[in-house]
């Protein structure tokens, strides 16, 4: 390329190199996306041929209380997950951002839930939170004398519980990204503030947090996306229940397509999910200028 | 600060770290402890791990591994995740090499397209993907678990592209003078010098595929083809109250990854932070 030598590749060579990626991209990403869009205007149970029904899947979605509740659940899950995982992740990063003996061990331990499958995590938390025989309810009863709710079996708590378990799983991940951001802040800022006699809170408020805004923005986007991929943990912990109390769009797509065999209806929901994801991304990038102040 | 103050501070930091560490790791410890509990003791309070340090200590493990075929599921998961990860290395390194070192029409568009589809949740494309697999006659086989992640690796392509771009061009010049073509350059110069990022990519792809649930759940019906995750959820629906065996199965599903993690945590953590995405 930039070398002065004659070209070392023929014009068609690069296409051979990218061929597998192109195949993958079109066969498993773009192709299915286009096809899902087409499907969303059909009624189809896989057995009999698909029937074109126009917008009726979308009409059904937005006029059914059931789907509006599912939509509400999806947003509620995100609103619980995103701020919590960011605050806890930042807290962990601030605590772990120091050079002391054994810190690598703690960092590895804090990160370990991230590499564990949602299934294993869902199972262990279901047992910890189990009514009566779970360790949490036992300790609450014997030490504090209070009775705990049936976290996963009650409509009021099921969704929040699943979201909080996911926070537990992913906060180590947010921690690591924040840690990278913290270590990029030039130490001269802190040295200057020491001379001015700033205390720990002032340093956090006026140096660390403002200089972290690009990282925060990045984590915000990642976490929002992460919050929509909740099928696995919901499948393991609640199967969307009780009733539809913890059913989100991700779970509902699976349920409609592969339990009720409503391929078109499921595809319409997939497009609603895609719409939400794209809208949030666009909004994030537009708002970014307003609050990402310091890019050094 | 006086040195005594410094020491108290340091002790305080360790206490805080230890407490948080305990809270974060407690579920794992509890899972391991429960795996040493017999079916009789599992619904007894206060909890007692009655098999711990007895001759029957590993009874649950023997039951799960032998009677419930978890040895087989572990092998299945290893083969599936290993093949998918191997595929990612090949596809991503090829594409990354072209993006980093060659010019071709459509390069930018292709790259943007790849990035744009990166954020799309699997749930959006899973219905047509299922239909495609059905059309290809791949249902109830490992092909749908391996082939899509074999061919798609956005994160890996980004990681390797950046790495390749930072390699000195002199290497290339020297090789080209010797008459190397693009393929020999890729194979003989770039790949051997990229062992670290390739290892990172392999491990991350392996972990992700090992943990995947949606695809195995949809595509695998035959018990003997199941991976660990889907075997666990099946086991969960069939033996709901047998927590000791369920959690033993969970331990079995986690241990191989944890062993890899202990030795390769640097690669895993840095790789996962690098572009902030997991696949």
Residues A1-57 have pLDDT tens digits of 444 445 778 888 888 898 899 888 899 888 999 999 999 999 898 888 888 988 889
Which residue would you say has higher pLDDT here, B278 or A143? Answer: A143
Helix (H/G/I), strand (E/B), else coil: A51: strand
Q: What ipTM describes this predicted complex? A: 0.89
Full domain range(s) for residue A272: 53-291
Q: Does A23 map to a domain?
A: no
According to DSSP, residue B45 is labeled S
Q: How confident is the model at residue B152 (pLDDT cuts 50, 70, 90)?
A: confident
Q: Return the CATH number at A182.
A: 1.10.3720.10
Mean pLDDT confidence for B197-209: 89
Q: Does B130 touch chain A (CB under 8 A)?
A: yes
Of A8, A28, A222, the CB nearest to B176: A8
Of A5, A95, A274, the CB nearest to B176: A5
Q: What is the mean pLDDT of residues B199-216?
A: 91
Q: Is residue B77 pLDDT above 90, yes or no? A: yes
Q: Please answer whether residues B93 and B160 qualify as being in contact, where contact means their C-beta atoms are separated by less than 8 angstroms.
A: yes
Domain segments of chain B as ranges = 58-274
Q: Say what the pLDDT of residue B1 is.
A: 55
In a domain, A74, yes or no: yes
Q: Which of B31, B210, B218 has its CB closest to that of A258?
A: B218
Inter-chain CB pairs, A–B, below 8 Å:
276
- Say yes or no for a CB contact (<8 Å) between B119 and A33: no
| Average pLDDT taken over every residue of chain B | 87
At residue B190, the pLDDT reads 86
Alpha-carbon distance of A247 to A64, in angstroms, equals 15
User: What is the model's pLDDT at position B264?
Assistant: 82
Does B27 reach chain A within 8 Å, measured CB to CB? Answer: yes
Q: Which residues of B touch A32 (CB under 8 A)?
A: 125-129, 132
Residue B41: pLDDT band (50, 70, 90) is confident
In chain A, DSSP finds a helix count (H) and a strand count (E) of 14, 2
CB contact at 8 A, A46 and A261: yes
Q: How far apart are CA A233 and CA A229, in angstroms?
A: 9
Asked if residue A123 is part of any domain, the answer here is yes
Distant-in-sequence contacts of A238-243, Cβ < 8 A, 24+ apart: A238/A152, A238/A158, A238/A162, A241/A158, A242/A153, A242/A154, A242/A155, A242/A158, A243/A155
| pLDDT above 90 for B28 | yes
C-beta of residue A55 within 8 angstroms of C-beta of residue A41: yes
**The pLDDT of residue A291:** 61
What residue in B sits closest to A96 (Cα-Cα)?
A: B17
> What is the structure's pLDDT at A3?
47
pLDDT the model gives residue A293: 55
Can you tell me the distance from the alpha carbon of A121 to that of A62, in angstroms, rounded to the nearest whole number? 34
Residue A15 lies in a domain: no
Count of domains forming chain A: 1
User: What's the mean pLDDT in B203-222?
Assistant: 92
Q: B273 or B208, which is more confident?
A: B208
Q: Decide if domain B58-274 falls under CATH 1.10.3720.10.
A: yes
Is residue A138 domain-resident?
yes
> pLDDT tens digit string along A143-156?
988 888 888 888 88
Closest to A222 measured CA to CA, from B260, B15, B277: B277
- Per-residue DSSP letter, B41: T
What local confidence, expressed as pLDDT, does residue B278 receive?
Answer: 47
Average pLDDT over residues B163-169: 84
> What does residue A43 show for φ and ψ, rounded to 5 degrees?
-110, 130
Closest-approach residue (CA) in chain A for B31: A124
Answer whether residue A42 is part of any domain: no
B92 touches chain A (CB under 8 A): yes
Which residues does chain A have with pLDDT short of 70?
1-6, 289-296
Predicted pLDDT at A277: 87
> In the predicted model, is pLDDT for residue B175 greater than 80?
no
A52: helix, strand or coil: strand
Q: What pLDDT score was predicted for residue A206?
A: 83
Q: Which residues contact B171 (CB under 8 A, 6 or more apart)?
A: B189, B193
pTM summary value = 0.90
Identity of the residue in B119, B229, B257 whose CB atom sits nearest the CB atom of A281: B119
Q: Which chain A residues touch B231 with a CB distance below 8 Å? A: none
């Amino acid at each position: 390329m930039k070398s002065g030598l004659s070209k070392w590749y023929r014009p068609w060579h690069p296409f051979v190199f990218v061929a597998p990626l192109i195949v993958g991209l079109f066969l498993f990403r773009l192709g299915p996306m286009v096809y899902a869009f087409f499907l969303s205007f059909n009624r189809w149970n896989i057995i009999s041929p698909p029937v074109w029904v126009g917008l009726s899947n979308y009409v059904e979605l937005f006029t059914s209380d059931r789907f509006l509740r599912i939509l509400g659940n999806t947003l509620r899950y995100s609103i619980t997950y995103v701020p919590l995982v960011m605050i806890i992740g930042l807290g962990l990063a601030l605590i772990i951002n120091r050079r002391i003996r054994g810190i690598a061990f703690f960092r590895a331990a804090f990160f370990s839930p991230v590499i564990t499958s949602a299934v294993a995590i869902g199972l262990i938390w279901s047992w910890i939170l189990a009514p009566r025989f779970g360790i949490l309810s036992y300790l609450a009863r014997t030490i504090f004398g209070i009775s705990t709710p049936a976290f996963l079996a009650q409509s009021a708590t099921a969704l929040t519980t699943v979201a909080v378990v996911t926070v537990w799983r992913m906060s180590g991940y947010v921690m690591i990204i924040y840690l990278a951001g913290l270590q990029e802040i030039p130490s001269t800022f802190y040295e200057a503030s020491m001379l001015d006699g700033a205390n720990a809170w002032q340093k956090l408020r006026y140096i660390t947090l403002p200089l972290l805004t690009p990282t925060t923005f990045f984590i915000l986007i990642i976490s929002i996306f992460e919050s929509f991929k909740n099928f696995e943990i919901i499948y393991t912990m609640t199967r969307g229940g009780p009733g539809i109390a913890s059913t989100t769009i991700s779970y509902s797509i699976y349920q409609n397509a592969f339990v009720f065999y409503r391929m078109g209806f499921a595809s319409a929901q997939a497009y609603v999910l895609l719409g939400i994801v794209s809208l949030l991304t666009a909004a994030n990038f537009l708002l970014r200028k307003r609050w990402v102040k310091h890019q050094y | 600060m006086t040195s005594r103050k410094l020491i108290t501070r340091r002790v305080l930091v360790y206490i805080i770290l230890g407490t948080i560490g305990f809270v974060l790791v407690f579920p794992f410890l509890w899972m391991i402890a429960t795996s040493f509990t017999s079916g009789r003791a599992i619904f007894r309070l206060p909890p007692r791990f009655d098999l711990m340090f007895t001759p029957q200590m590993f009874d649950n493990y023997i039951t799960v591994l032998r009677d419930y075929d978890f040895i087989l599921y572990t092998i299945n998961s290893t083969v599936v995740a290993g093949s998918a990860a191997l595929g990612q290395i090949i596809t991503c390194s090829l594409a990354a090499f072209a993006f980093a070192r060659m010019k071709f029409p459509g390069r930018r568009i292709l790259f943007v397209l790849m990035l744009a589809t990166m954020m799309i949740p699997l749930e959006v494309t899973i219905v047509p993907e299922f239909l495609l697999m059905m059309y290809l006659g791949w249902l109830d086989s490992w092909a749908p678990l391996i082939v899509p992640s074999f061919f798609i690796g956005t994160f890996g392509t980004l990681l390797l592209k950046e790495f390749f771009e930072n390699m000195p061009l002199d290497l290339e010049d020297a090789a080209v003078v010797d008459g190397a073509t693009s393929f020999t350059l890729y194979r003989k110069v770039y790949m051997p010098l990229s062992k670290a990022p390739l290892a990172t990519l392999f491990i991350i792809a392996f972990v992700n595929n090992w943990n995947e649930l949606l695809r195995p759940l949809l595509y695998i019906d035959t018990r003997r083809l199941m991976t660990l995750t889907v075997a666990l959820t099946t086991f969960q629906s069939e033996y709901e109250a047998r927590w000791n065996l369920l959690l033993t199965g969970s331990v079995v599903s986690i241990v191989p990854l944890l062993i890899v993690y202990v030795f390769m945590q640097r690669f895993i953590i840095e790789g996962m932070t690098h572009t902030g995405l997991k696949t």
